Amino acid sequence: MSNPNDLLANFQQQIKEAATQDRANYFLVHVTKVLVGRKDPNNFQVHGIRLDNGKPVTVTSKKSSSGQHLPQQQAVMRADKTSRVGSKDPEVAAYTAEYFHTYGEGSLCIHALMRANKPYERDGQSFASVDVLDLDAATQRITSAEEFDRVLLSLLKPWNFKSGPLAEDAIGNRVWAKNGVLGIQPTVHLRLLGADNMVDKGIFFGLGAVDRANGQPLPSPRLPTDDEILAHLRKSPSYAMLKGLTEQPGFKEIGYVAIPGMRVNVGRDALNGTAENYLGAPKSWTWIKKEVPAVDGNHPQVRGWRGGILHIKETTSGRKIAVDAAPSVKWGLTLHPRLTPMEQELRNPSQVQQAAPVAKQSTDQNAASRTEAPARAVSEQQVARPQQAGVQERTHPADESYENQPANHAEQFEDYNPEDIYMMEQMANDGGERFEDDIDDLLQQAEAARERRNTSVPRM
């Protein structure tokens, strides 16, 4: 019989997670339907499935007229700076979005746990990277020197993975080509079993592709051989020390947890020196170490790990670069990567078993949404608020940290409110053919409703 306290905690956690998802400022949608206006094709409403929770949603907004394109059916769209609004159908959550972001042909949309590393300078140029981890797919344990090379080698070949964010993106595109990928390095992060923090200098890098041999460029890149990966691995300054630790007495009782990942370099234009223009909310990855005494009133700050949505493009030279990143509420900010399912099982087997049905349901829903028809790619879109005449450029203010907004913050987005969206939802839920001019009629009604409110309700 289940422990009542455990059941209570389980349901409380589910409610907390649902509320967090409801207040998300950014999320991905697999678009199943696009409604547009005949008179004003900039007006649109997408219907689809949220990829972080597998639930149906609508997102209403308006694109600017400066060469932007509407989201496409069966594509993936990221809704940015969203506000929850009223919905006619209680099973379908409705949102407005200030901006939206889509993914061009040849691009990747990675939804995973990640860390946006601080920029650094070398030879007068700025560089930055994003580390991505997969805590679920192929995490392994190392308990001996014999396992050290074998496990690291297997995890440094993510092109062999069948699923997960290191193998395929949120749209279903494979991350790794048959000839490898330049610009992305496979990684493995080590953590001692039972510890929360990662091993110091415990990150190892592999090769995403080989484009030179014996100092000469190859006609085309190729995947590295096992010998090339091992040779590269053994050049790491910490390789001998961390492998030697596996031969110490008692190590087998603890062991390393090896977590696969990848590092993606940020494009210079997207980075813009140290401004980090590619980050929608730069402080969303900043962890303030409040346990460390403040200096001049400021506590030390480091980059932490959180859920993120990463846009990776291919350059004209064939290299992959990160060009845009936004936070996701699927995994909150932590100083160290959260525990893998294997670590949770070894620490507290009973708790993991009780949580398994809920976790499995969420996983199944996400998997179902990922197996929809492959998305057609379109270019990045930025959306102006519907009542604005000019084009509102996307901004990445340096002082904007990503916080979950209160559930009643829809008034901050004055263009649509629950009453307006309710009228749009009437057409979306009536069934039958969706005519383009219906959107225009609904938006005209919404405009009239706004005018009535503006004249009848005094504003502070």
The ranges assigned to domains in the chain are 20-103+376-456, 108-338
Count of CB atoms situated within 10 Å of the CB of 408:
9
The reported pLDDT for the residue numbered 448 is 55
**Residue at 191: amino acid letter:** R
Q: How many CB atoms lie within 10 A of CB 329?
A: 20
Calpha distance 208→261 (Å, rounded): 12
Give buried/exposed letters for 250-283 (b at 16+ CB in 10 A, else e): ebeebbbbbbbbbbbbbbeebbeeeebbbbbbbb
For 309-356, how does the pLDDT look when each residue is reduced to its tens digit (9 = 90+)? 999 999 988 999 999 999 988 889 999 999 999 999 888 765 544 444
| Distances from the Cα of 298 to the Cα of 117, 119, 275, 291, 294, angstroms | 20, 20, 21, 12, 5
pLDDT in tens, 43-70: 889 999 999 889 999 998 888 766 667 8
The bridge status of strand 93-102 relative to strand 56-62 is parallel
Q: What are phi and psi of 294, to 5 degrees?
A: -75, 145
Q: What is the DSSP string of 59-81?
A: EEEE--SSS-----TTSEEEEEE
Q: What is the CA radius of gyration of the chain?
A: 24
- For residue 319, give the 3-state DSSP assignment: strand
For residues 114 and 132, is the Cβ–Cβ distance under 8 A?
Answer: yes
The pLDDT of residue 131: 97
The first and second tokens of residue 181, run together, are: 């990928």
- Per-residue model confidence (pLDDT) at position 380: 36
Chain centroid to Cα 202, Å, comes to 24
pLDDT of residue 360: 40
The secondary element (H helix, E strand) that includes residue 217 is: strand 216-222
Q: In the chain, which stretches have pLDDT less than 50?
A: 352-436, 442-443, 445-446, 449-450, 459-460
Instruction: Give the pLDDT score at 407.
Output: 30
pTM of the model as a whole: 0.72
Q: What angle, 0 to 180 degrees and rounded to 10, lies between the N-to-C axes of helices 418-429 and 436-456? A: 160
pLDDT at position 423: 44
- In the structure encoding, which two tokens stand for residue 162, read together? 């069948």
pLDDT for 440 equals: 57
Residue 300, helix vs strand vs coil:
coil
d(CA 370, CA 169): 9
